[in-house]
Copies of this chain bind each other. A is one copy, B any other.
């Protein structure tokens, strides 16, 4: 774009002039005005915003609940229409997508915003004093086992909400919050008479928590409709600082399960123990061989394909505020893996994580046996350059180098009697690759410019999130940069009972999206 602009300098200038005249009121507003517009509107309308949000949260949104999912879709369509957004409920093979757009004549760029409106399954019995779809306020955060802050009534109209209060409801953070913040941001801009020169499109998925099965085909089918310059994936928690967080990539993931074998039936540990092969000991030695004592993976080739960070990305990693002391204290540990790497450094690398172990029984159920088998469930997080199949193969090759014959499926007697060490690793296509867009693209720089300086928060810019999202679906279908925007508090109990949203995060989210809607283009 930049090059094109330089080559066709006059043409671009003409186009700009045309655009400016086409979007009549679209004089570039001062950053301060945008912020004030969003904030003043919010301050004057906190109760109305809260009422609308409570109404939205009251519609159950578990992905499998088709009836209520559709009610959510219809309600969101109505919310959009109230703001002058052209909206429609579009069918997929599963839950509907809500699509909306504000097209500006002669728009300089098109911004596409992704949110999902479905939520995780709920176990109402685990919600303390509340129900998942009866949103309530609490003057603080539920702590494990403490004196729980009790639900409180909504304050009278002439009092504002305390920013540290929290709303408790399923979906309040994951992922209805960005939708509510965007709607209020549009209201604020409109009330202040600030118009934007960007086309704005919205895609709201209804089955993200059920695996996004139908998202890929939907994107492929509607790639023209969804045409844009950038996709903002509005999901996930903000950084520990609480400030709005921009991420330029996510890690990929592949999962693998390894089973090693003892005898073909559990044997008496007295009669056979320490002679018959013990699968728990075999598995322990096998797993222990995968990392050194600092936690570095010592599987051949594991780090070989990693695309190194750019100087810009390395700088960004270093610039992320340090909250490690808080995290360690929150989660009760002092020694970390990685040989002294920071958490931010660690997530720039592929990881190997044992998420499950099972052999025989423990505790009251324990039996003095040599168990039949021992299994480990492992997830490997991938960074840019790591192909899921390649990473699986590295692991399989490592197991072989430890002396194992690797089978897929249950070994038969003949196989058992042919190999001293047997490991089962089933052939599965699992997971997807990482995604990382440059922090140096024009759109990335414009976004940064839109959020920095005039903003009283300190947005956090992350080259990548540690977690995984199937951004590759958007990348494949639309071929545009994907940048994440996260506004909700990190301690929101996402995917768990007592999901919550700190009210201050909703407020700052409104200002964040106002700024993003108004971000300048490179044209």
Contact = CB atoms under 8 A, between A and B. Distances in A.
Interface of A: 144, 251, 253, 255, 257, 261-265, 267-278, 280-281, 283-285, 287-288, 290-291, 293, 295, 327-329, 331-338, 341, 343, 346-347, 349, 351-363, 365-371, 374-377, 379, 381, 413, 416-421, 465-468
B369 A355 contact: yes
Contacts of A328: 417
Contacts of A360: 354-357, 377
A291 B356 CA distance: 23
Given A328-B417, A354-B359, 8 more contacts: A255-B366, A273-B466, A274-B352, A287-B288, A334-B419, A354-B371, A357-B360, A362-B376
A356 B281 CA distance: 10
A332 B263 contact: yes
Contacts of A418: 334
Contacts of A381: 269-270, 273-274
A287 B278 CA distance: 12
Contacts of A357: 280, 283-284, 357-360, 362, 374
A418 B328 CA distance: 12
B377 A362 contact: yes
Contacts of A331: 263-265, 267, 272, 276
Contacts of A273: 351, 353, 379, 381, 466
A418 to B, nearest CB: 8
A433 to B, nearest CB: 14
B274 A420 contact: no
Contacts of A371: 354-356
A278 B367 CA distance: 26
B417 A274 contact: no
A491 to B, nearest CB: 11
Contacts of A261: 333
6 contacts: A263-B331, A271-B467, A280-B354, A283-B357, A355-B360, A355-B366
A2 to B, nearest CB: 34
A353 B269 contact: yes
Nearest to A352: B274
Contacts of A274: 295, 337-338, 346, 349, 351-353, 381
A36 to B, nearest CB: 35
A269 B366 CA distance: 28
Contacts of A276: 331, 333, 336-337
A356 B359 CA distance: 5
A417 B287 contact: no
Nearest to A344: B275
A365 B377 CA distance: 10
B332 A416 contact: yes
